[in-house]
Structure 1
Amino acid sequence: MIIRGVVDRIEGEQVVVLLGDEGVVLHLPRQFIPEVRESDLLSLDIRVEVPAEEVRKMSPKSLLERLAWRPDR
């Protein structure tokens, strides 16, 4: 699912994004989108990468490795 939003403001290291027609507020760490500026339009691709049944079977270490954010992804 693609969700679109607009950068409402930047508060220190937080980017405040208004999503969709409803204006749902999303706070993101600026490190995820370092080049962003106020009024930029964003497109977020939201999808289930690993179903909950599989996550429950993962060791804590492998889960943390999977969740590790890498800017090259």
Structure 2
Amino acid sequence: MAKTKKAAEGKTIRVRLFKSINSCQERHRISVRALGLRKLNDVRELKDSPSVRGLINQVSYLVRIEESA
């Protein structure tokens, strides 16, 4: 069980902002900022966790994700 937990801890996600936040809801802008994204095509590598996945789900129409190890 420890091996699976350790493997999940090291997993990261690359998130790219591909659409402008100008005409979206204020709470979605806050979510994008919480992900660490500022400008178009800005990329952040984040730890794969339920909270990050929730933020990405909320603004899925603004960001693209790609799995990375």
Q: TM-score, normalized by length of structure 2?
A: 0.35
Larger of the two Rg values belongs to structure = 1
Q: TM-score, normalized by length of structure 1?
A: 0.34
